[in-house]
Amino acid sequence: MKILVANLGSTSFKYRLFDLGDPGEPMLARGAVDRIGGPSSKVVYASSKGKTEADRAVPDHGEAVRLCLEQLTNPATGVIGSASEVSAIGFKAVHAKGISGVQRVDARLLSAMEAFNDVTPAHNPPYVRAMRMLAERFPEMPLVAAFETGFHATIPDRNRRYAVPNEWATEHGVLRWGFHGASHRFIAERTALLLNRPDLRLISCHLGGSSSLCAIRDGKSVATSMGMSPQSGLLQNNRVGDFDPFALPAVMRATGMRFEEALAILANRSGLLGICGKNDLRDVEAAAETGEADAQLALDMYVSSIRHYLGAYLVELGDTDAIVFTAGIGENSPRIRSMVCRDLERLGILLNDELNEAGHGERKISAADSKVEVWVMPTNEEIIVARQARDLLSARS
């Protein structure tokens, strides 16, 4: 069974095609269309048979998917004979009111996503637009949404509920839903395999453009740092993270700012960017090295927010067998990993500095006498979505 996994942005479409009929679950091809809707889009494609790159106008996501199917079936560089070989398109969908897990995309699901447009403004509107267009344009193609919140359905109420009136939770869905579910699920499954133990206590640190920690026991999420929306938890590259809502009236009254403006600042101009004017961690690290105090403060605050949840999850789990760093920052910044693990020897967490600094890809970076194993692990959210789409379709057939 071949599954195409789509990653949508408001003006981008990235995809990977997996063959899940093969036990090795190989990725057959990948591609991307950037700047959709602009005068000229960049269209890239790569498979074992070759790579292509072109600039051409791509007016919308429907056309991007048509191009993708054209590339996949191209006699020279394509990997399938016809588009009908693609069993489904799987989407790493983010959030929907009253819906989680893995679901076929239909009118009810699209309305539920729209109902949470305000909660995930960067993600839901482009996804809904594109899914609607694809459903119209390719009515025969099953579309499957694998929600990021799905992995966190196992979080117990004591960690899931906010201390708000009950009806906020029951009627309006005001709960700690959690996100990065495909990534944390991949890390849970992969770590259990590598350590050859299904009964692991694990803290997964997904540190990227957006970041979250997840406490995992026996492969199941029991707590995560993001809440009702992906804006909360750790401070993010340009999002505020945890914040006291009662600070808002003070700023709004003093400046005359409208509620929507204040929310936009918290969502787009806060986090690392708000503290030091840079939101790419590489730039923040470089500025801190040249002695910029704001950049150093941004790094220190980011690390403090990670350690805040790390400490909470060590207590939640009672101990931990492993800590795993993943995503752009988790995989590539030895400095952040070292700052996170600093002075935690008494908790059984000790890095091997050489292993932390050197090497690439999946590897253990803890010292031989560290009680807790610390790993760097590239995540693979797309294969999780592909497997979930396959499982849904197989269960229905």
Closer residue to ligand AMP, CB minimum distance, 266 or 288: 288
381 is in an annotated binding site: yes
Is 282 labelled as part of a ligand binding site?
Answer: yes
Nearer to ligand AMP, 305 or 333 (CB): 333
- Write down the least CB distance from residue 218 to ligand AMP, Å: 26
Q: Which CB atom, from 282 or from 342, has the smaller least distance to ligand AMP?
A: 282
Q: How far is the CB of 227 from ligand AMP (least distance, A)?
A: 19
Nearer to ligand AMP, 360 or 396 (CB): 360
- Name the residue nearer to ligand AMP (CB basis): 227 or 271: 271
- Backbone φ and ψ for 343, nearest 5 degrees, come out as 60, 35
DSSP letter at 81 equals S
On whether 311 is known to bind a ligand per the annotation, the reply is: no
CB burial of residue 158 (10 Å; 0-12, 13-18, 19+) = exposed
Q: Is 129 annotated as a binding residue?
A: no
How near is the Cβ of 253 to ligand AMP at its closest, in Å?
34
Instruction: Dump the DSSP string for 140-206.
Output: TS-EEEEETTGGGGGS-HHHHB-SS-HHHHHHH--B-----HHHHHHHHHHHHHHTT-SS-EEEEEE
> Angle at CA 373, nearest 5°, toward 369 and 379?
155
Q: Which is nearer to ligand AMP, 282 or 363 (CB)?
A: 282
**Chain residues in the site for ligand AMP (CB under 6 A):** 208-209, 237, 280-282, 327-329, 332-333
The answer to whether the annotation marks 7 as part of a ligand binding site is: yes
Asked if residues 49 and 79 have their Cβ atoms less than 8 Å apart, the reply is: yes
280 labelled ligand-binding: yes
d(CA 378, CA 326): 6
**CA pair distance 285, 289, nearest whole angstrom:** 6
User: C-beta of 110: minimal distance to ligand AMP in Å?
Assistant: 26
In the complex, which residue's CB is closest to ligand AMP? 328
The set of residues, in sequence order, having a beta carbon less than 8 Å from that of 283 and lying 6+ positions away, is none
- Any known ligand binding at 99? no
Q: Which residue has the tokens 């400095």?
A: 335
Minimum distance from CB of 336 to ligand AMP (Å)? 7
Q: Which helix (H) or strand (E) holds 52?
A: strand 50-56
CB of 282 to ligand AMP, least distance (A): 5
Binding residues for ATP: 14, 280-282, 328-332
Residues contributing to the annotated binding site: 7, 14, 280-282, 328-332, 381
Annotated binding site for Mg(2+): 7, 381
